[in-house]
Amino acid sequence: MSYLKIPDTKKLFNGLEKSYGILYMLLLTFLVLLGTRYVSTLDYNNLFYCPGMLAADTTMRAELPVKKGTTTPPIDIVKFTSIDPALVEKGKGLYTSNCASCHGETGAGNGAAGAALNPPPRNFVDLNAQQWKIGKKITEMYVTLQEGIPNTGMASFSTIPPEDRFAILQYVHTFSPDYPRENPDDIAKLDAKYSLSQGVKAANQIPVNLAMELEILDYDTLKQDLTSVMNIVSNDNTDPGAIQFKKIVSDPNKALNSLASNMAWTESSESFQKFLSIDPINKGFKAEALRMSPEALSQVQQYLAGVFAKNRV
């Protein structure tokens, strides 16, 4: 009678261990050779190459020349908001030198300098391609040129004369027949906002380095002038403007320093009201300043403008 012979499991496992060891060494050798061959084919110049990015602007920067501020002559806004072939032709050249680098020669928002901007430059051809923050009318786009758009690549072009800005906008409006037209109310609001029919004041222009030097030299003088203003206002208990001013300030020193930091409020009571409407508490004023009557507002503005002018602030 024959029996089934059971193999010796110990010898069997010993044989498998040897086979696995050999297979492991062969596999390891294969992987090393494969890796060596792969590494030898790498182009290290391209492996660690960082693609270049377009600069926002390739224009060489130079110090601004010293330039005395001027007042541009009054303009007829109705004339400049109505399409005029001569003005369009003038605007074409101005657009090419000031706007085409970002907005593109054809106005499609594909200029080389605008490639790195986020959000991208405005597309003047397809009016529905992007949301308009201010508006499409010439009177609305003028505001954009005057003030710029914060947190975008659109800077202010307020140094360009008003007539030239209107010329640029008239040319831009030739990119599409779908631009809306102005109405008398739009024109009146723009004129009230910037006093274009009365002439526009352009600020003095000096190089940045010179401005920094003058700021350092002028600090002590400004401090003395503000001290004089503070003494005059504090001791004046008769002028209605001085009395009203004391009622609306929480910190007179801070309020006067805030006023000295932005003298645009001296132009009119409307400018003064605009100054007060932006964060009055942080400027040293009380909330009551926003509730002044037009008469009281005018008294305070005229009084302070006179005191500041007499003390060279």
pLDDT at 53: 57
C-alpha 272/C-alpha 299 separation (Å) is: 11
pLDDT at 269: 85
pLDDT at 49: 59
- What count of Cα atoms within 13 Å lies in the side-chain half-sphere of residue 216? 5
pLDDT in tens, 82-101: 889 999 999 999 999 999 99
The answer to whether position 64 is within a domain reads no
CATH number at residue 176: 1.10.760.10
Sequence-ordered list of residues with C-beta below 8 angstroms from that of 201, at least 6 positions apart, any chain = 69, 70, 71
Label residue 250 exposed, middle or buried (CB < 10 Å: 0-12, 13-18, 19+).
Answer: middle
More confident: 58 or 239: 239
Which amino acid, one-letter code, is at 84?
A: D
More confident: 222 or 266: 266
If one counts the domains in the chain, the total is 2
pLDDT at 144 over 90: yes
pLDDT in tens, 5-48: 555 555 655 666 667 777 778 888 888 888 888 777 766 556 56
A 10 A CB-CB count for 158 gives: 16
pLDDT at 105 over 70: yes
Domain hosting residue 96, numbered range: 71-201
**DSSP class of 220:** H
pLDDT at 122: 94
pTM: 0.48
pLDDT in tens, 255-289: 888 888 888 888 888 889 888 888 888 889 988 88
Q: Residue 154, SS3? A: coil
Single out the residue in 201, 220, 242 at which a domain terminates: 201
Same domain flag for 193 and 100: yes
pLDDT in tens, 120-134: 999 999 999 899 999
Single out the residue in 180, 201, 222 at which a domain terminates: 201
Single out the residue in 201, 232, 260 at which a domain terminates: 201
The answer to whether position 66 is within a domain reads no
More confident: 313 or 125: 125
Lowest mean pLDDT, pick from 62-76, 112-126, 202-216, 273-287: 202-216
pLDDT at 178: 94
pLDDT at 100: 93
pLDDT in tens, 155-199: 888 888 899 999 999 999 999 999 999 999 999 999 888 888 887
